[in-house]
A and B are shown apart, each in its own frame.
Chain A
């Protein structure tokens, strides 16, 4: 039954083949090529650019999480920043330096990383029931309220977060006895700090991307899509709305928590003000610009949005009327340019390419697939 027809790689003879992770030879080859190329990147690119890419890949985990709840299950969440914050502080408290002024237990990564995800997921479980009662934009505003309440809690819990203006350090990144914050020889390779962090982020991204892809193509993922497309119809065909909406929030929050803990472990010092509405909007921008309800789109979007600061820096070099300091000289400062780019890109993508970067890729692919008969 499930045997493939020889010489006809695109013919599927079973449902399992159709739903496989890499269901075409082209996908198989390109995925392997991309993974290999990604592992070579740290040896080809300068350190400052590596850091940007590392943070982009860590953000991608969170963006994939948001895509699960907003893209696949269709529950608009503006509260992602809150869950990321929860993860960041859980990670920082459990893995942080015990001798610092703020609370820290100095536990290893095997404890703080899963804990960060779980604490965020539990918070997601608590939000879930509200989401069951509300639809669409009501839900968006309620999750927005969550960000403000979270912001307040993070500001006030000074012995955990350091408070506004002070902040605290993230946990130390030590995996299998290798300190990601130091440089030196690992497995015969001389790796700088940025190179180590890049490779670690890449491994985490692959693990979580495959995990999310598996969720999306399983029965759970199909239930999510059914709820997104028409929740009444989904309920009629036997999808338990409460259960799957709560599940979507919990899963998405787990991804967010992991992202939070890892991201600020790489960044170092962070403040409660990091987890405001802007962060939520950034994550929404990632999935909208990358491609809604696609894993690869979320990754592309996250890396693109994370590089935006760098890109606007480069633009500032070229355009004379953009100042490189945060002062008031010039027409715009770099930071303002970056924020404007978010806004404009969101609008432009939604109007002209609603499927995002992934949609652009599909179009290019289809053009070459049909070549020379493409229109």
Chain B
């Protein structure tokens, strides 16, 4: 039973990273109807900015992270402006493929920076762990969960109560009508990408504070947020959070129990468990748990 709760706690921590990334995907999807495959690169780039500010320039961790978020947001806006704005109105498939191109280019550039060593940000809480009974959680994981909770709450309030948030919701509902109401749709796109870039930067920063830090292969982590958004439903903010946490928890549970329960699935099955979960959910609910069913108009 201890194993189970420990896995649950670990999964919750890892799931927070997925939830942040999934939120970024959903932001971009809701604003522009495009799935951005550039998110892995944005995560790595954002994490590296934080790394540079904290470990290289010696700033305080939280200050460095905020600067990293700002830089990540700027990169997101830049990507939108250069690669996606000229393609407005083209099929979404084309746009999605362009983001794959952006992803490859950004990742190569960041791989040059990373080199062969892994880039680890020192977390201010060190290796301290808190425990309740036999279940323990590291200071770093707790910080991650807290930051995620604050971010998600802030975003929810922003969408619900601010004028800009209202403009974003209106744009997500109907771009042309929003335009007719005087909303600058282009600015909304830029903002959506900026938010996505910032969220990815938070995720990247916490990936970098983990044991492995940011390596050349770390970008794979961000792809696991894709099953998360599919499970939650592409256009649902709460779906992204729930999906992200679900993916993290399933991954941790599989890592704990699969080697004993189902060894025939092979070593490291936990790494692909999110994708297996995605297949199962899709067979039952093709638009995810919280997604809106597409209505066909002829």
Contact = CB atoms under 8 A, between A and B. Distances in A.
Interface of A: 76, 130, 133-138, 140-142, 144-146, 148-149, 151-153, 155-156, 232-233, 236, 277, 281, 284, 288, 328, 331-332, 336, 339-340, 342-347, 350-351, 354
9 contacts: A130-B279, A130-B283, A144-B223, A156-B266, A332-B112, A339-B108, A343-B103, A345-B101, A347-B101
Given A138-B286, A148-B223, A149-B276, 4 more contacts: A133-B282, A148-B272, A152-B268, A346-B101
B115 A144 contact: no
Interface residues of B, number: 47
A343 B266 contact: no
A242 to B, nearest CB: 14
B108 A142 contact: no
Given A140-B35, A350-B97, A156 B272 contact: no
A354 B298 contact: no
B142 interface: no
B112 A336 contact: yes
Contacts of B94: 350, 354
A144 B40 CA distance: 14
Contacts of A331: 112
A365 B104 CA distance: 33
Given A288-B97, A343-B108, A142 B87 contact: no
Interface of B: 34-35, 83, 86-87, 90, 92-94, 96-98, 100-105, 108, 111-112, 115-116, 223, 226-227, 229-230, 234, 265-269, 271-272, 275-276, 278-279, 282-283, 286-287, 294, 296, 298
Nearest to A327: B116
Given A76-B93, A340-B108, A141 B100 contact: no
Contacts of A332: 108, 112
Contacts, number: 121
B296 A232 contact: yes
Given A140-B35, A346-B100, A148 B275 contact: yes
A361 to B, nearest CB: 20
Q: Which 4 A-B pairs give the minimum distances between C-beta atoms?
A: A156-B266, A343-B104, A145-B275, A346-B101
Nearest to B291: A138
Contacts of A149: 272, 275-276
